[in-house]
Structure 1
Amino acid sequence: MSARTTSYTPLYDPEKDALGYVPPLSAALDQARLVLAEKATANIHDHDDMIRAAVGLEMRLRQLVAALEAEGRA
């Protein structure tokens, strides 16, 4: 059986996309709220809107999780 190849680029690659800066939890939470409000009006029938929403939400969620983890270690 041959090795399976992927023909897409994932949203997140841990080797290339690790967060360099982790904001304070309050800032990460504020940013998450802002992007949630912004993406709430995205047109579900517009492919580009859905891509932008997915990427924006994914980025802020990763930032929020990193801030929560950092807060737990402090």
Structure 2
Amino acid sequence: MSTDTPAYTPLYDPATDGRAYVPPLDQAIDRARKVLDEKATANIHDTDEMLRAAVGLEMRLRSLVAALDKEAGR
């Protein structure tokens, strides 16, 4: 097994990509629903659209989980 650094840059690095702002849970849910609606019509055969959808959904999912954790006191 190699200990070399990966040949790519990960979408999220917890060491450097901390969130300073966590939205209230109701806002996080609304934003997640909006992005789900926006990305639902993305063309699966269009690489650029799929990349934009993946990044947008990942960002909203992280925000939603952070809001849930904050509400739960974690």
For the criterion TM > 0.5, the same-fold answer is yes
What percentage of residue pairs aligned between the two structures are identical? 68
1:57 matched residue in structure 2: 57
Task: Say what the alpha-carbon RMSD is for the aligned residues.
Answer: 1.6
TM-score, structure 2 normalization: 0.91
| TM superposition outliers: structure 1 runs of 4+ over 2 Å | 1-5
1:41 matched residue in structure 2: 41
2:31 matched residue in structure 1: 31
Unpaired segments of 5 or more residues in structure 1? none
Q: Secondary structure at the match of 1:4?
A: coil
1:4 Cα deviation from its structure 2 partner: 3.4
Alpha-carbon distance in 2 for matches of 1:62, 1:16: 14
Q: Structure 1 residues 2, 27: CA separation in 2 closer, same or farther (over 3 Å shift)? A: closer
The number of equivalent residue pairs is 74
TM-score, structure 1 normalization: 0.91
